[in-house]
Structure 1
Amino acid sequence: MRRNLNPDPLPDRRTVVQFLYHDLPSTKRDWWLVIDPAGDVDLCWADPGFEVDLFVSTDLHTMTAIWMGLTSVAAESEKFEFTGPKEISSTIQTWLGLSPFAVQRKLVS
């Protein structure tokens, strides 16, 4: 996830996004992205200690489907709760990026 993130739509400062996967056990529920404007991105499973700019609450299945390019944040908007600036949450589909496999043709059975 961190390798394909596009920091361009984000503020020109360190941005911290905390993902809360409410369907996972408490020990695996919270993940943080620490995004530097230069393009360095850290994915953390432990709180990095920075102030969080945006909290994103959803389930892992929905986030995986979006990251794989099977659906979009707009199509699944009822499954998301955002807490933080609209300037960051409204552009999540743009800055989040997609899995390298998302560009592959989907097999239909």
Structure 2
Amino acid sequence: MVWRLRQYVRPESLPRRRVVVEFALRLADEADERAWLVLSPANDVSACRVHPGYDIDVWVSADMAEMHKVVAGTATLDAARQAGHVRIDGDPGLAAAFPHWFAWRTPAPRPTG
């Protein structure tokens, strides 16, 4: 999921310094799966399955299934956050900016009638 998310990074929206995001993804009754995104000012984005060795700036705690829906574009990040499925913490400015760093896919409109 984090590997796919890195494909949606909007480099022009990133801070001018390296930012490290740690994801703690819940899978039902299993231990959290951890992954990291390292976002660099030189438009280099790395997805890591082992800690990258840098200080963490932003923490994202999420239900894995719900985060998959957000990345796939069948749910929105705002809705997932409001429902308590996703939480973003860390440096206040970076945590607030996090949603703007990605070109999120959006759910298809529902048919009317």
* Same fold flag (TM > 0.5): yes
| Higher relative contact order, structure no. (Cα contacts within 8 Å, ≥ 6 residues apart) | 1
2:100 aligns with 94
Kept in 2, the 8 Å contact 1:54–1:84? The answer is: yes
Shift of 1:70: 1.4
Over the matched positions of the two proteins, sequence identity in percent amounts to 27
1:54 deviation in Å?
Answer: 0.5
Per the TM alignment, residue 63 of structure 1 is displaced from its structure 2 partner at its CA by 1.0
Change (3 A) 1:33 1:107: same
Q: Deviations over 1:45-76 (max 9, x none)?
A: 00111000001000111111111111211111
Matched residue type, 1:82: I
Letter in 2 for 1:94: H
Give the match for residue 85 of structure 1.
Answer: 91
Structure 2: which 5+ runs fail to align? none
Higher helix share: 2
RMSD across aligned C-alpha pairs, in angstroms? 2.5
Instruction: In structure 1, list runs of 5 or more residues that go unmatched.
Output: none
Q: Does structure 1 retain, via aligned residues, the 8 Å contact 2:73–2:107?
A: no
Residue type matched to 1:20 in 2?
A: A
User: How many residues are aligned here?
Assistant: 104
Give the direction of change, closer, same or farther, for the CA distance of 1:104–1:81 in structure 2 (3 Å limit).
Answer: closer
